[in-house]
Structure 1
Amino acid sequence: MNGKAVQLKEEADEPGWEVDPDDEWGVAVVETVGRQLKLRREALGMRAADFGTAVGYGEDMVYKIESGKRIPRPEFLDRADELLGAGGLLSAMKEDVKKVRYPKNVREIAKLEAQAVELGVYVGLSLHGLLQTPEHARALFEVWQPAYSPEEAERRMAARMARKAIFERSPAPALSFVQEEATLRRPVGGTMVWRQQLEHLLEVGQLRNVTLQVMPTNSEAHPGLSGRIEVLKFSDGTAVGRSDGAYNGRPISDPKQLRILELRYGTIRAQALPPRESLAFIEQLLGET
Structure 2
Amino acid sequence: MAGTAENTEGPATGTGGEPESSDSLRTFGAFLQALREHAGYSREEFGALVRFSKHTVASVEQGRRIPDVDFVERAEGVLGNTGALRKAVRHIARQPGLASWFRTWARLEATAITLETYECRVVPGLLQTEAYARAVSLSVPPLPDAAELEARVGARLDRQGLLSMERQPPTAFSFIVEQAVLERHTGGVVITRELFDHLLDVEQRHWNVELQIMPLRQPNHPGLDGPLQLLETPENRWFGYSEGQENGRLITDPKSISLLTQRYAKLRSQALTPEDSRRLLERMRGAL
Deviations along 1:155-185, one digit per CA (max 9) or x if unpaired, are 1110011100111133211100000001111
Q: In the superposition, relative to structure 1, how do residues 200 and 119 fare at CA in structure 2: closer, same or farther (>3 Å)?
A: same
For the Cα contact (< 8 Å) 2:24–2:93, is it kept in 1? Answer: no
Counterpart residue number, 1:110 = 106
SS at match of 1:159: helix
| Correspondent of 2:161 among 159, 162, 165 | 165
Letter in 1 for 2:265: G
Deviations along 1:203-229, one digit per CA (max 9) or x if unpaired, are 122221111101001122311122001
Structure 2: how far apart are the matches of 1:154 and 1:265?
33
Letter in 1 for 2:170: A
For the Cα contact (< 8 Å) 2:101–2:249, is it kept in 1? Answer: no
Letter in 2 for 1:251: L
Structure 1: how far apart are the matches of 2:199 and 2:242?
23
Counterpart residue number, 1:240 = 239
Percent identity, please.
Answer: 34
Deviation of residue 242 (structure 1)? 2.1
Unpaired stretches in structure 1, ≥5 consecutive residues: 1-15, 34-71, 78-91
Counterpart residue number, 1:138 = 134
Counterpart residue number, 1:151 = 147
After superposing on structure 2, the runs of 4+ consecutive aligned residues of structure 1 that deviate more than 6 Å are 30-33
Structure 2: how far apart are the matches of 1:255 and 1:76?
41
| Mapping of residues 153-232 of structure 1, within 5 Å | 153-168=149-164, 169-206=167-204, 207-232=206-231
Structure 2: how far apart are the matches of 1:32 and 1:211?
36
Q: How many residues align?
A: 223
Structure 1: how far apart are the matches of 2:176 and 2:271?
7
Q: In the superposition, relative to structure 1, how do residues 126 and 30 fare at CA in structure 2: closer, same or farther (>3 Å)?
A: closer
Deviations along 1:66-99, one digit per CA (max 9) or x if unpaired, are xxxxxx954558xxxxxxxxxxxxxx8x956796
For the Cα contact (< 8 Å) 1:130–1:160, is it kept in 2? Answer: yes
For the Cα contact (< 8 Å) 1:30–1:97, is it kept in 2? Answer: yes
Unpaired stretches in structure 2, ≥5 consecutive residues: 1-8, 29-57, 64-84
Deviation of residue 107 (structure 1)? 4.0
SS at match of 2:110: helix
Structure 2: how far apart are the matches of 1:163 and 1:143?
21
Greater length-normalized contact order (CA 8 Å, ≥ 6 residues apart): 2
Counterpart residue number, 2:21 = 26
Structure 2: how far apart are the matches of 1:160 and 1:267?
28
Structure 1: how far apart are the matches of 2:134 and 2:108?
23
Deviation of residue 20 (structure 1)? 5.0
Structure 1: how far apart are the matches of 2:248 and 2:254?
16
Q: In the superposition, relative to structure 1, how do residues 73 and 98 fare at CA in structure 2: closer, same or farther (>3 Å)?
A: farther
Q: In the superposition, relative to structure 1, how do residues 189 and 174 fare at CA in structure 2: closer, same or farther (>3 Å)?
A: same
CA RMSD between the two structures: 3.5
Q: In the superposition, relative to structure 1, how do residues 119 and 98 fare at CA in structure 2: closer, same or farther (>3 Å)?
A: closer
Deviation of residue 259 (structure 1)? 0.8
For the Cα contact (< 8 Å) 2:178–2:215, is it kept in 1? Answer: yes
